[in-house]
Amino acid sequence: MNTPIVQMSSVSKHFGSASVLDRLDWQVLPGQVIGLLGRNGAGKSTLLECLLGLRETDVGTVRIYGEDVRHLSDATRARIGYVPQKCDLFEWMTPRQMLDYFKALYPRWNAAKVDALLARWGFDPSMQDKAIGKLSGGEQQRLSIIRALGPDPDLLILDEPVSALDPVGRRDFLRELIDSVIENGTTVVFSTHILSDLERVALEIAFLKNGRIALQGQLDELLEGARRVDASGGTAERVRVAPTSLEELFIEVTQ
């Protein structure tokens, strides 16, 4: 049996009187590609930040590769890649300077992959010498993804990584994610609102509702199961519209 890479046990997090995570239990197994879904303000970003130790939990424990997230070893941190929701990327530096900065902080850095991604994703030499603050939102997000992929992470946490990308950028990113990351057995946790992208990438979906993982499973099984539940309804008048797409399932589960 696989040992979970990420293990969250009875995690609670409050902001003032508002409860964001409520005794949440969650596991991520090696090689899983999980799409994390939830309504705005459901706590997806907070969950991912708590998972990475960027926020303290009020109660509960979080372990990554068996280590308490508050005391992660250098080796474990070197295996994690993170794309935050907001691209805060040293806006006074140029893309090249920022990547060199992180290269200096990681023992393993795939410079060839970074260069190839820069070239493929439209970062020509002139753009690489431009201050990051002057790049567009989409360009900054692409750069943030390149930065996260630089150390060849084994666990990739993506917090709405494609929200600022145009359709072409999204397609390039998803292709990269499938070809170079998922195919290599990297574990991916991916939060997004663009369900069509999630359907292309994630095999497994987790819904966050009321501070807990309300539903998790293989995407196909969840959709099939939802149909079965509706088909077993009572009289014809009381039968609801059966959820047939991820969007409908999202609405059903999160409302």
Q: State the residues that interact with another protein by CB under 8 A.
A: 49, 52-56, 70-75, 77-78, 80, 82, 84, 86-90, 92-93, 97, 100-107, 147
CB of 200 to another protein, least distance (A): 27
Asked whether 121 and 142 are in contact (CB, 8 A), the reply is: yes
Query: What CA dihedral angle connects 211, 9, 195 and 244, to 10 degrees?
Result: -80
Output 70 or 175, the one with its CB closest to another protein: 70
Could you tell me the sign of the dihedral formed by the alpha carbons of 216, 222, 228, 232, in that order? positive
CB of 107 to another protein, least distance (A): 6
| Count of all residues that appear for the chain in the document | 255
Q: Which two tokens stand for residue 71?
A: 């005391």
- Residue whose C-alpha is closest to residue 113's, from 47, 179, 67: 179
Output 49 or 172, the one with its CB closest to another protein: 49
Give the C-alpha distances (Å, rounded to integers) separating 30 from 4, 26, 65: 7, 14, 10
- For 185, counting Cβ atoms within 10 Å of its Cβ (0-12 exposed, 13-18 middle, 19+ buried), the class is exposed
CB of 135 to another protein, least distance (A): 15
Output 97 or 180, the one with its CB closest to another protein: 97
CB of 15 to another protein, least distance (A): 11
DSSP state of 177: I
Output 89 or 226, the one with its CB closest to another protein: 89
Give the C-alpha distances (Å, rounded to integers) separating 171 from 14, 138, 168, 215, 246: 36, 13, 5, 27, 19
Q: Which two tokens stand for residue 74?
A: 């250098």
Output 84 or 243, the one with its CB closest to another protein: 84
Output 93 or 242, the one with its CB closest to another protein: 93
CB of 81 to another protein, least distance (A): 9
CB of 227 to another protein, least distance (A): 41
Write the single-letter amino acid at 37. L
